[in-house]
Structure 1
Amino acid sequence: MEFSHFHREGCRGDGVSAWESDAMTDAARPAAKVLVVEDDRELGPLLLRLFRGAGYAGDLAPDGQAGLHLALTRAYDLMILDRGLPAIEGLDLLGRLRRSGVTVPALVLTALGTVADRVAGLDGGAEDYLVKPFEVEELLARARVLLRRRDASAQRLAVGGAAFDLISRTVAYPDGSLVALSGRESDLLRLLAQHPARAFTREEILARVFPDASGVALVDTYVHYLRRKLGAEAVATVRGVGYRLGPG
């Protein structure tokens, strides 16, 4: 079903559209979080309903500035991004996120469909590019592919000589010992392990790991928790900056 034909396809008697009914049967990961950055007042909410109906959690940003804020302060598994956005253009937004260390897979969804447009989008940091109008089934299929790729590449991260499993939230050592982490501890270690050479300020960590909290003292508390469980060198203090992953 082509998404631009949504209104002509009609809805079921219970108010659920045909595409939404189909989407509910998709095998989406329940925990996957999608950020939709779309300024069209009709299309944006419909895309959000589509992904939520398919079992994803989701947020909608109506312009580039809002999309930048959400992507920097919350954790997402996938971003659906328009190009012709107000405030910050789509590829400019994507470039800023990549330079900030945000690696969430991005699918550009736009009416700009020439070969040059596609090349610019992929070279600009997008993992996929889909031109409007589009088929709902194809969009969901492409989303699943990007999520599978992300899962395969990011399920385990190196932490010194140990392996950090993002799914089980455990750190496994070569001697067979296993350390379990809490959700917040896991989120903090994930941020540091995904960017092992980068030092984060306490404010950056607070915004990206504890977006609903206030006060950088919370960051220090969880760094202490990680060091207590994984060893004093697990998280290194960078004087005058903040914290980074400890030496391997």
Structure 2
Amino acid sequence: MADGTAKLTLLVVEDDRALSAMLVELFTDEGYRVDAVYDGQQGLHRGLTAQYDAMVVDRGLPVMDGVDLVEVLRSRGITTPVLVLTARGAVADRVAGLDAGAQDYLVKPFEIPELLARIRALVRRPDGNSTLRVDGLCLDRVTRTVSGRRVGADVELSEREAALLSVLMKAPGRIHTRGQLLSSAFGGVDTPGVVDTYVHYLRRKLGRGIVRTVHGTGYRLGIE
């Protein structure tokens, strides 16, 4: 499942510890990097502060309901694709999850092959991860091409440049520490200065304002 630079990352938010452990093992065996938390508040914190390619969220969570969690993430500008798991199969419950901003909904008990197929569809969905658009900037993650009024002619990026820009574009208002960017864009490689190096490369290709330095903290997308 790796994209040539880093593994796709999933967040599992499930309070049933046995089911959570099963999901983590299942997704890890499929080649994903997986984090797991056990209530809605933890899920919100991770969703706001870390970068994931998709989230699997239980509907009936402690502290904060899964649908409420998705609504808050969307209200904060987080576009990470979400699959909601639930024991509730009524149409009204499915509609509530989708209206909150989830991309998909799967009723328990589910078949493992179907779950994996839905996750594969989620991480490659064009309106999820393949094309990102923010503030006059468009990144096609398949061709690694940047276009839009901020760059003029199309600009082709390397895999690592595209990975870094996509992390910044998915949460344009968020300040990312170097450690977070190492984990989410570069797979946690332990290479001193790699984040700064690729920020320099992006600025050279797309203009200095494309990435803003937040002194003492890290970087964020340069918003006009």
TM-score, scaled relative to structure 1: 0.65
8 Å Cα contact 2:51/2:167 also seen in 1? no
8 Å Cα contact 2:9/2:34 also seen in 1? yes
Q: 1:36 maps to what in 2?
A: 12
**Per-residue Cα deviation, 1:1-46 (whole angstroms, up to 9, x for no partner):** xxxxxxxxxxxxxxxxxxxxxxxxxxx5562222111101211101
> Which residue identity does 1:145 align to in structure 2?
A
Q: 2:30 maps to what in 1?
A: 54
Poorly superposed stretches of 4+, deviation over 6 Å: 159-162, 218-222
The percent identity for this pair of structures is 49
Q: 1:123 maps to what in 2?
A: 99
Deviation at 1:107, TM superposition (A): 1.0
TM-score, scaled relative to structure 2: 0.71
CA distance in 1, matches of 2:96, 2:134: 35
Matches within 5 A, 1:154-173: 154-157=129-132, 164-167=139-142, 171=146
Deviation at 1:149, TM superposition (A): 1.1
Q: 1:6 maps to what in 2?
A: none
CA, structure 1 residues 243+63, in 2 after alignment: closer, same or farther (shift >3 Å)?
Answer: closer
1:91 aligns with 2:67: yes
Deviation at 1:228, TM superposition (A): 3.7
CA, structure 1 residues 180+160, in 2 after alignment: closer, same or farther (shift >3 Å)?
Answer: farther
Larger-gyration structure (1/2): 1
CA distance in 1, matches of 2:32, 2:202: 30
Q: Secondary structure at 1:79's aligned position in 2?
A: strand
Q: 1:19 maps to what in 2?
A: none
Alpha carbon RMSD of aligned pairs, Å?
3.6
What 5-or-longer segments of structure 2 have no aligned partner? 189-193
CA distance in 2, matches of 1:120, 1:161: 32
> Which residue identity does 1:84 align to in structure 2?
G
Q: Secondary structure at 1:80's aligned position in 2?
A: strand
Q: 2:191 maps to what in 1?
A: none
CA, structure 1 residues 80+64, in 2 after alignment: closer, same or farther (shift >3 Å)?
Answer: same
CA, structure 1 residues 166+80, in 2 after alignment: closer, same or farther (shift >3 Å)?
Answer: same
1:205 aligns with 2:176: yes
Deviation at 1:90, TM superposition (A): 0.9
